[in-house]
Structure 1
Amino acid sequence: MRLVLDTTTCSDMTFEEVVDFASENKFTSLEVSCCPRWKSHRKTTDACHIDVENINYAMSMEIKKYCKDKNIEISALSYQPSVVEVNEENCDEYIQHLYKMIDAAHLLGISKIITIITCNQTKKYYYTMEIDKKTWNPIYLYANDKKVELLLKTNEY
């Protein structure tokens, strides 16, 4: 059994502190929050444990080594606000950030990204998917080329 820690709950900790905590408490894996540093997206946290906007090869090697030394795997990168917001004026920024996450996942050798499909509470999931095909199809294709899988959550209850 794998025990996975979602780092969005650790917004006041650095990446290294989260990895240390996970290692000391017998977690095997992390779902690492990568919210943009330029904007707070969540009401509860704006955790950014890996800065995908500025990551490079050297940084990716340091991250991988630190995790390996602590026997921790990064199972997924996480970006919890929707890229298709109710407030569409920010949509392009969110989409560009998701593309950077895909690039970072590829660089880090991580095969999964978790995000939310919609924040629009006035629309049903199937309706939103039909509307958003023009947005999501290019993202899917880009992720597929980078061998990164998108795991989409819905925030509808």
Structure 2
Amino acid sequence: MKQPNNTTHFNCLTVILSSKEKQQHLLNEWKEHLVLDDTPGYTIIQKNWPIFPYLKLKDHVYLDISSKEIKSTSSAYQAQLKLDSSWEKQSADELSLLEKIKLQLLHSLLAKRTQIIVEDAFDDLTITETQELLDILCLLARQENQTILLFTNNTIIAHSPYIDHLEDAS
């Protein structure tokens, strides 16, 4: 696998298949690279979403997004992500992992990010939630021209028909 400093973009929906330990190492490299580079086009979707405790969930999702952008595209993106507006009244503690991932994706779309790195969360999702997430990621890659790098140790996901490219980083 190419190192982060040599990689500027990836195919539509690319999977990095590796052990959890290797994933953590690679994700840390990506995070360090993105912070040092101040690369605005990237988003990292995390299982343990770092939420600001002093902000309401709605304010956190819409952080640094213009009200014009929220009004013009938020409802369309929420429909693509299969989110109903009830999330705006919830606290972060009330959300499922899938909902947290969807809200991070919503923020990424509203912020006009075009490259998304998704931390492996499949072990903590049900089969139905996994299917829904893969459907959403595939939709974003194809209809929204997002390039998505998905980390997993699950070979079934890595070899699923949703995936455009597979890199084995074992």
TM value normalised by structure 2: 0.36
Q: Which has the higher contact order (CA 8 A, sep 6+)?
A: 2
Q: Give the helix-richer structure, 1 or 2.
A: 2
